[in-house]
C-alpha cells in the first residue's frame, strides 16, 4: 500500500506545481475515491481522482497533465499498470455466476 500512498502524493505534488490547491483533505479524499472505484479501470481511477482533486473546471488541464505524468498514457509498464498489479494482489477474488444461473 505504500506505493499507493506515494503515487497519490506524487499526483498531489504535481497538481500543486500546476497551481491546483491540494491539501491534506484532498489527499485523503483521493484515497477514499480510489477505494470506491474499480482500480483496474483507468477511466474510473481518472474520474474518481479528478472529482476530488479539482475544485473547478479551471483545474482540469493541470489535472490531465499531472495524471499523465504520474500514471503515464496507458502504456504497459507505466505507474497506473504498476498500481493495478498491486491492487490485484490485495483485492478479494470472487466468482461471477453464469448468465441465467438460478
pLDDT digits (tens, 9 = 90+) for 15-66: 999 999 999 999 999 999 999 998 888 888 999 999 999 999 999 999 999 9
**Minimum mean pLDDT range among 17-21, 64-68, 73-77, 92-96:** 73-77
Give the model's pLDDT for residue 76.
Answer: 44
Contact 85, 78 (CB under 8 A): no
Rounded distance between C-alpha atoms, residue 92 and residue 102, angstroms: 23
Higher pLDDT, 11 or 92: 11
Burial group, residue 82, by CB count within 10 angstroms (0-12, 13-18, 19+): middle
Give the model's pLDDT for residue 82.
Answer: 65
Q: What is the pTM of this model?
A: 0.69
Place of cell 477511466: 43
Amino acid at each position: 500500500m505504500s506505493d499507493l500512498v506515494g503515487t497519490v502524493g506524487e499526483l498531489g505534488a504535481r497538481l500543486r506545481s500546476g497551481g491546483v490547491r491540494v491539501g491534506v483533505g484532498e489527499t485523503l479524499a483521493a484515497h477514499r475515491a480510489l477505494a470506491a472505484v474499480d482500480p483496474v479501470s483507468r477511466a474510473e481511477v481518472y474520474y474518481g481522482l479528478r472529482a476530488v482533486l479539482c475544485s473547478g473546471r479551471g483545474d482540469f488541464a493541470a489535472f490531465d497533465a499531472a495524471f499523465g505524468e504520474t500514471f503515464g498514457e496507458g502504456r504497459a509498464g507505466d505507474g497506473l499498470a504498476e498500481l493495478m498489479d498491486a491492487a490485484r494482489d490485495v483485492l478479494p477474488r470472487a466468482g461471477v455466476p453464469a448468465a441465467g444461473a438460478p
